[in-house]
Structures are given as structure tokens and as C-alpha cells.
Structure 1
Amino acid sequence: MEENYRAIIEAIGENPDREGLLRTPYRAARAMEFLTQGYEQDINEIINGAVFESSNDEMVIVKDIEMYSMCEHHLLPFIGKAHVAYLPSGKVIGLSKIPRIVDMFARRLQIQENLTQQIGECIAEVTHAVGVAVVIEAKHLCAMMRGVEKQNSSMITSVMLGRFREDPTTRKEFLDLIRQRGC
């Protein structure tokens, strides 16, 4: 990967041997490895047995999960927050596992629409919940730095599974709760 970054630097007309760029191919390769580490992660290792029996059947929400991903079309970041809810069906998942699941899928070359779907389907599979909802709000540097160059636009995607899709009251409760300000 380092050699490819060196070639990119040369292709744009820069000198990869000048002082400021000497280690840039190395640093860029390490950064890309970090930003795409989701390909190497395994859901079973992330969950690590943290699914617990529970009689709770009320909505569980983790909101404002900071996330970033890389647009698969331009290799530029999109940055935002995810809100995830599920309706337990005898099992709950450890609190830290939901942001870890978000990160696992976000740290891949991705489009926001698919990212939202992947998170929802994974939470549903792991928890066997009767419903899962995911909303992601993000700003895309590919639309801010190039193309339409719109600095204040953002994209919102949602996935509603199970009862969140079937029951408008449940969906409304979720959407109302994620709009509320935190503690």
C-alpha cells in the first residue's frame, strides 16, 4: 500500500522525497488500514458473549454514537452519528457492544444507506429482538470538498425492522426519543 501511495503522490505532481512527504506513504497506509479495519473484525469477538437474559421488553436506545466511514465512491470520509434501538425478546446486549458494531461496519468502504442496513440486521441477528431501528445522520466530505460543494448539507438514513416497521406508534416513540436532548 505504501508503494501505491508513493505513486499517487508522484501522479499528482509532488515529490515524495521532499522532507514533508518522506514518511507520508507509510503514514497514509497505516491510516487506511485503521480506517478500514472493519473488514478484519469478527462479530463474535466483538460481542464476546455479552448477550444476557433479561425480562425487559421495553425499548433500548443508544443514541449519538459518533461514527465515521469512508465513501466507497471517492474514498473520502463521511462523519456523523448513529442512533440504534431494539426491542428485547428475552435477551439484551452489553451497552458497549452497540457502538462497537457501528464501528465494525463503518470502518469499511461504504455508502451510508448500506451501513444503516448492515447495523440494523446485525443487531437483529445478535439479539433476536422483535424490532430494531437505526438512524444515521452524516456529513459527506465528497459532497462538501468536491462535486456540489455544499458545506451545510447532511444525509439521514433509517432502517426499521420488525415492530419498528410494522407499528407506527413504536416508530414514533423511537424518533421522538432520539430528538430529545441528553442528560
Structure 2
Amino acid sequence: MVVPWKVIGVLGLVLAGFGSAWQVQDWRYGRQLAEQARLQAESLNQLAQAAAAAQQAEQDKRLALEQRLAASEQTHFEKLTNAEKDQALLRDRLATSDLRLSVLIDATDVAKGCDVSATTGAGGVDHAAVRARLDPAHAQRIIAIADTGDRGLIALQACQDYVRTLSDGSAPLLRSEHP
């Protein structure tokens, strides 16, 4: 069978048309894939920038919290040091008899048989109150108890300040650190 050249030419043109169509289709899909890849890269870049900004904000919060806690710790340390100095001075004054502790006595309670005079000396504060001086050893124990109480109150205040500082919006930061 003899194939006329016109048929071969038409078949060649049809095949060339199909090839061109495939190539155009391939270019179109290539452009679409490139566009999708570009959009995905932009989205990933935006997400990375948002994550970096969020991380920086969390670091800034943490730094601010650490600074507030350091200031609170410094204040607590100063209060504790001042209380210790005051207690040491008070103990020294009691030991040297520069200061004497006394208590008020109920003047109507005659059953005790206390014969301390009701008159006040030149340095007295209470006017016409019956007072009894405490033994220096007992006074030292009272001062030690007061010192322990002062330390406890200062420690309690420091703990309360610490909890207040943490609850001022920093709790999510701390929860995220401990899974």
C-alpha cells in the first residue's frame, strides 16, 4: 500500500500539534508548580518570622521576670540583713545592761505579792504603771524568739512577693518550660 505524502504530512502535522500541545501543557504545569513552590516558601518564611518574633517576646518576658525576681531577692536580702543588725544591736544592749526589758504588771492583782514601785524614773515611758524587770537571760530568749519571728515574716513576705511576681502574667512562660 502506498501512502500518499499528503496523508503523511497531515499525520506529521497532527503529531506535531499533539507534541506542541503537550509541551505547552508541560510549560503551564511547570509555571503552576513554580508558583505553588514560591507561595509555599513565602508562607514558610512568614511562619518562621512569626515564630522568631514569638520566641523573642517570650525571651523578653523571661528577662523581665528574672529582673523583677532579682530585685525582689535583693530587697528581701536587705530586709533580712537589717533585721539581723537590729536584733544583734538589741542583744548587745541587753547584754551590756544598756537596755532592760520590763513588763507591765496588773496593779490590781495583789495575790502576786509584787512590791515593785509604781513610780517612774527619769527615763521611764509609762506614767504610774507598775513594771517588773525581766531577767537578762529571759530577755535574751524573748529577743531570740522575736528574731525568729521577724525572719519568718520576712521570708513569708519574700515568698508572697515571688508568687505575686510569677502570677503577674508570667505563668504561661513557666508552664511552657516544664512539659
Where relative contact order (Cα < 8 A, 6+ residues apart) is larger, the structure is 2
Q: Please state which structure has a larger fraction of its residues in helix.
A: 2
> Shared fold (TM-score greater than 0.5)?
no
Q: Please state which structure has a larger fraction of its residues in strand.
A: 1
Q: What range is the shorter-chain TM-score in?
A: under 0.3
Larger radius of gyration: 2
TM-score, length-scaled by structure 1: 0.22
TM-score, length-scaled by structure 2: 0.22
